[in-house]
Chains A and B, each alone.
Chain A
Amino acid sequence: MNSFPSPHLSWNVVTDVRALLEYPFMVQAFRAGLLVAVLAGVVGWFMVLRRQSFAGHTLAVVGFPGATAAVLIGVSSTYGFFAFSVGAAIFISMLPNAGGSRSAESAVVGTVQAFALAFGFLCYTWYGGFATSIGALLFGSFLGITTSQVGALVVVTLLAIGLLAAIGRPLYFATVDPDVALANGVPVQALGTTYLIVLGLTAGAVSQITGALLVFALLVAPAAAAQRISVRPHISLAWSVGLAISIVLISLTLSYYYPYPLGTFVTTIALLTYLIVRVVRR
């Protein structure tokens, strides 16, 4: 941040945007941010409906040791995030009672979550200092996003959205009304597993921008606010994506102009959005 001498936010939006996009690193950040926002808006919408916030948080936290372990063995942290988050998704879905009462699995998952954080820090200690700071892995950063990272995000976004588009309706049915869905021939269990893997992919992707600990803000707040705004699925899904995009774009802009961490902006704006919607639409 400091290497770019104090940019100032003016009231002229056109010059502001032009100044923002002058730097290639900022363009990359916006590309990655947009992809992540769309992904979080859609996948988070189902997560809130399915009451799987805890699972979503866990999948994100588990990405942290993935990222540090990846750096330790000399691979990009991107792959570490994805490998561990998706691996954890498969593991959780194999737990007995997965998809049923979530409280039963919460003890195991909570323990694994704590271990994951500690193990991630252990990898960090073993490596003895990082090119990427541990703060960025946990709390997000928009600096130095590479073209291959954006490429990976494009692939993951297309894959996740494509999968959800294919299973959207039966997944909605299985989420809202599992007993009747099962009786109507919907493969409730298989859909739950598929969704959890999509959630793992998403958590891994969103971590690249918000950091492992703050994935939650972007997955939950826009979706929860959107479901308050409208009970119609299409409209609230559109709101969820729109809010997520706005949160990311505003946060990236602010963190370009002000010397505070990106994660702070994302979580603050997300929280404010949710609170405002909650108050306006009780």
Chain B
Amino acid sequence: MTAIVRLENVAAEVGGRRLLSDVDLRVDAGEFVALLGPNGAGKSTLIRMLLGLHPVAAGRITVLDRLPAQARQDVGYLPQRRRFDPDLRVRASDLVRLGLDGNHWGFPLPFKRNRTAAERVSEVIELVAATAFADRPIGELSGGEQQRILIAQALVRRPQLLLLDEPLDSLDLPTQSSIAALLSDICTNQEVSIVMVAHDVNPIMSYLDRIAYLASGKAVVGTPAEVITGPTLSALYGTPIEVLHAADGSLVVVGQPEPPAVHSDRHHSDGHHHEYDRDPRRPHSH
């Protein structure tokens, strides 16, 4: 089986500063992989490298056995973003359509309907269960509705790989879990591989095939059960880390002098892992 994504000894640099080195990762067809780690660990940079929008400092990345920039046609991308301007007068379905042919030159004439394209757009909108609100302006939709539309946009060209940068960010918990279920469904039924940056592993935990945990300039790759453990994370951070299992099955990572956040703490826009916001390489007195 050919790998969808292959990273060999990859290093990432931003502004001359090395963020990551010696990252090895392989994503196979239909796999659901999460990139986790503290802010500034290089998760988004890695996604941009997979799109060919950021240079590879060392090592080798192939996407569908091609250079990343040459594989874009078969890759769907959902960038990390704030919500759309509430005043933006653009239909949600038009946004999906742009994902299909927005990069074509010219100006689409209204009387020259492209039936195949229109059918593909409504098909993918139905797939993400967004038909009910697809004709409304994107800015009027809720965060979860916008995210469904954006997933449809990323899927519309039938990509073999989806790159999602924090698609669950700033959504409430029920919406997080329904979007996570949708992604898992797409992964298995549409045979699309997903590489997704996440701040919190819990909503997607049960769907994940593998995790790449980035911290301290390194990456640990494995199944969730292998990676989210006290010993693995302690070794990665170089400081004692504990993983607590909450009663609802979710995990809480604890290890810094700061009080650990609990899962229900969703009023903070930056999620639950407050301890991640600190520089993990800084020596701690513990």
Contacts and interface: CB of A to CB of B under 8 A. Distances in A.
A104 interface: no
- Residue among A172, A176, A228 facing the most chain B CB atoms (10 A cut-off): A176
Contacts of B91: 231-232
Interface string B38-54: 00000000000001010
Interface residues of B, number: 30
B106 A180 contact: no
A185 B98 contact: no
Interface residues of A, number: 27
A176 B77 contact: no
Given A183-B79, A231-B137, A176 B107 contact: no
Contacts of B154: 180
B59 interface: no
Nearest to B88: A176
Interface in A165-193: 165-170, 172-173, 176-177, 179-186
Contact of B107 (A165, A180, A182, A232): A165
Given A170-B105, A176-B90, A186-B102, 4 more contacts: A169-B101, A173-B98, A182-B53, A231-B94
10 contacts: A165-B106, A165-B107, A169-B102, A170-B104, A173-B98, A179-B77, A179-B79, A180-B78, A180-B79, A180-B153
Interface of A: 49, 164-170, 172-173, 176-177, 179-186, 227-228, 231-234, 236
User: When A and B form their complex, which 10 residue pairs have the shortest distance between CB atoms, in order from nearest?
Assistant: A173-B102, A168-B107, A179-B79, A234-B110, A227-B89, A183-B77, A173-B98, A184-B103, A165-B107, A231-B91
Interface of B: 51, 53, 72, 75, 77-79, 81, 88-91, 94-95, 98-99, 101-108, 110, 135-137, 153-154
